[in-house]
């Protein structure tokens, strides 16, 4: 009996000790561990999770197309301010054209009508974005609708570049994003007009599409025809000046968006003739070589279209050639934004490998078809070893390719040790923002707080910022993360 009482006393004492320790677990946890514990308690609660992620410091958005990042409401406003019209057939913004005998054009309506006609306003937003796509356009694939949206607001893109930069910077600051790497075709008219001139000359000599196109000769022709002498910075200078004016940068009333560090990638479009594509690539490399605000080149447009598929190897050959001419210019490439059924099976799983091996890509945009590569494991392992990061945009993959949940290779990239950066792609068209992409990464992909924090850091570590600028942003990010975690 005595032994039983001693055992009971010992048991109660031990239980009490454990109870007291459990009552104050946070005393031994770091701020990061306490934050992760809170995150785990809300990770299935979308409302509280959104609030948490909105406040979380995010290093950088490295895959962000300026034109597709602007929301449709802004394009409508700018169309009204510029007295433009809406073509009634396809709902595209365009210049107003007179009708028969100078009367009102029955095929157009003034853009300002959208502010008094709710139906037209709704229609414009829906055709310029993925909003209500499944309802408004139930028989149109998301892939087609997504890429068609750009045709609707293309009229405004160049003249409102400064306003676009202001919108993106302001939105980034509101989400605690420290760095934006924005991609676009800058002053596209220059390389296309030069290409047109050169194509006329080369067509007369009948080797415009010759398989063994002499890239050395063609590059020199393009430079001599105008690419070499054209200003590489004037277009960007004007856009940045307008952005600073709108955000009141450098004044006491400066918008927080002024503090977001912004750099630029110069794009080349894939779905053009070889001379046009090469002209755009030479222009992009030249811009990077001339202006430190440009930090990389990229290639865009759907990889499943005829020309991008047919000329993919030629495009990689062009980049390889230019990489040797401009070895200091960084390269990031959209590659593998494909899925089964979109292209023949033999095309799947080939573009990522070629972008890295032939195109010298240091980052891969999307990479969703990586698992169709017969050597997928080896490929991802090599990416991890070489520090080649992948830019993941979940809303974009869902809207364009229908890839969600376990069908997305995000988890496989993480498991292989590939650096992952969560990005937006075209947040205006997708009706998203970077916070929402983090949210989807948690709810749909099961990412942990540690995964998100790593992605946030990767957004700076794998950026193409100059070394000194990168260190400054990294210092800001670490300070912001400490302050964020101290609240928990």
Residue 126 domain boundaries? 75-156
Contact residues for 483 (Cβ-Cβ < 8 A; gap 6+): none
Residues 115 and 240 in one domain: no
Residues 166 and 152 in one domain: no
**Per-residue pLDDT at 104:** 82
Residues 307 and 279 in one domain: yes
* Residue 331 within any structural domain of the chain: yes
* Residue 148 within any structural domain of the chain: yes
**Per-residue pLDDT at 24:** 52
* Residue 35 within any structural domain of the chain: no
Distance CA 415, CA 158 (A): 41
**Per-residue pLDDT at 275:** 94
Residues 99 and 221 in one domain: no
Residues 226 and 334 in one domain: yes
3-state class of 118 per DSSP? helix
Among 107, 129, 156, give the residue marking a domain's end.
156
Residues 205 and 346 in one domain: yes
* Residue 143 within any structural domain of the chain: yes
Rounded-to-10 torsion of CA 262, 334, 187, 427: -60
Residues 178 and 121 in one domain: no
pLDDT digits (tens, 9 = 90+) for 217-272: 999 999 999 999 999 999 999 999 999 999 999 999 999 999 999 999 999 999 99
Residues 312 and 418 in one domain: yes
* Residue 66 within any structural domain of the chain: no
Question: What's the pTM value of the predicted model, to 2 decimals?
Answer: 0.92
Residues 465 and 417 in one domain: yes
Distance CA 267, CA 67 (A): 12
Quick one: how far is CA 117 from the chain centroid?
33
Residues 149 and 165 in one domain: no
Among 156, 173, 198, give the residue marking a domain's end.
156
Domain count, the chain: 2
Tokens describing residue 381: 């392992």
Terminal CA-CA length for the chain? 49
Tokens describing residue 242: 């307008």
- Are 203 and 220 spatial neighbours (Cβ–Cβ below 8 Å)? no
The burial of 409, by beta-carbon neighbours within 10 Å (0-12 exposed, 13-18 middle, 19 or more buried), is given as buried
Distance CA 469, CA 451 (A): 24
Distance CA 392, CA 217 (A): 38
Residue 248: which CATH number? 3.20.20.140
* Residue 64 within any structural domain of the chain: no
For the chain, percent of residues with pLDDT exceeding 90:
89
Rounded-to-10 torsion of CA 86, 90, 94, 96: -50
Among 99, 123, 156, give the residue marking a domain's end.
156
Residues 91 and 234 in one domain: no
* Residue 27 within any structural domain of the chain: no
Residues 409 and 448 in one domain: yes
Q: Which helix (H) or strand (E) holds 300?
A: strand 294-300
Q: Which residues of 438-449 are buried (b: 16+ CB within 10 A; e: fewer)?
A: bbbbbbebebeb
pLDDT below 50 — which residues of the chain?
A: 1-23, 206-208
**Per-residue pLDDT at 206:** 47
- Kind of pairing, strands 108-110 and 85-87? antiparallel
Rounded-to-10 torsion of CA 82, 87, 91, 93: -20
Residue 361, phi then psi, degrees to nearest 5 = -70, 130
* Residue 26 within any structural domain of the chain: no
Going from the C-alpha of 430 to that of each of 16, 58, 72, 142, 364, the distances in angstroms are 54, 20, 10, 11, 20
- Are 65 and 426 spatial neighbours (Cβ–Cβ below 8 Å)? yes
Distance CA 170, CA 184 (A): 19
């Amino acid at each position: 009996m005595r032994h039983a009482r001693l055992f009971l006393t010992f048991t109660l004492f031990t239980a009490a000790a454990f109870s007291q320790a459990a009552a104050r677990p946070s005393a031994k946890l770091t701020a990061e561990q306490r934050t992760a514990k809170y995150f785990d308690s809300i990770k299935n609660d979308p409302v509280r999770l959104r609030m948490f992620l909105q406040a979380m410091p995010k290093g950088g958005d490295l895959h962000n197309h300026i034109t597709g990042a602007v929301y449709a409401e802004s394009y409508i406003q700018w169309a009204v301010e510029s007295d433009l019209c809406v073509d009634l057939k396809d709902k595209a913004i365009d210049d107003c054209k007179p009708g028969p005998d100078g009367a009102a054009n029955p095929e157009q309506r003034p853009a300002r009508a959208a502010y008094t006609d709710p139906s037209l306003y709704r229609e414009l937003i829906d055709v310029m974005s993925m909003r209500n796509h499944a309802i408004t356009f139930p028989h149109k694939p998301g892939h087609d609708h997504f890429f068609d949206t750009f045709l609707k607001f293309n009229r405004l893109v160049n003249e409102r570049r400064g306003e676009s930069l202001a919108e993106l910077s302001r939105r980034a600051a509101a989400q605690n994003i420290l760095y934006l790497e924005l991609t676009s075709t800058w002053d596209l008219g220059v390389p296309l007009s030069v290409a047109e001139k050169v194509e006329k000359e080369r067509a007369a000599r009948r080797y415009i599409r010759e398989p063994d196109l002499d890239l050395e000769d063609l590059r020199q022709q393009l430079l001599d025809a105008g690419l070499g002498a054209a200003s590489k910075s004037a277009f960007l200078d004007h856009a940045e000046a307008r952005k600073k004016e709108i955000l009141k940068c450098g004044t006491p009333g400066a918008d927080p968006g002024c503090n977001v560090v912004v750099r630029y990638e110069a794009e080349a479009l894939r779905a053009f003739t070889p001379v046009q594509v090469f002209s755009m690539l030479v222009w992009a490399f030249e811009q990077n070589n001339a202006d430190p605000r440009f930090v990389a080149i990229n290639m865009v447009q759907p990889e499943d279209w005829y020309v991008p598929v047919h000329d993919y190897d030629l495009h990689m050959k062009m980049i390889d050639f230019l990489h040797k001419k401009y070895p200091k210019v960084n390269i990031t490439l959209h590659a593998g934004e494909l899925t089964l059924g979109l292209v023949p099976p033999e095309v799947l799983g080939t573009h990522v490998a070629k972008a890295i091996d032939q195109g010298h890509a240091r980052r891969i945009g999307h990479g969703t078809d990586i698992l169709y590569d017969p050597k997928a494991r080896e490929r991802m392992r090599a990416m991890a070893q070489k520090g080649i990061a992948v830019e993941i945009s979940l809303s974009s993959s869902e809207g364009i390719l229908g890839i969600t949940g376990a069908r997305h290779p995000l988890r496989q990239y993480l498991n292989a040790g590939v650096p992952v950066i969560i990005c937006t792609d075209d947040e205006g068209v997708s009706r998203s923002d970077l916070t929402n992409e983090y949210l989807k990464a948690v709810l749909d992909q099961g990412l942990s707080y540690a995964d998100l924090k790593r992605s946030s850091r990767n957004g700076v570590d794998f950026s193409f910022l100059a070394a000194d600028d990168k260190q400054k942003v990294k210092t800001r990010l670490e300070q912001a993360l400490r302050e964020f975690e101290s609240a928990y």
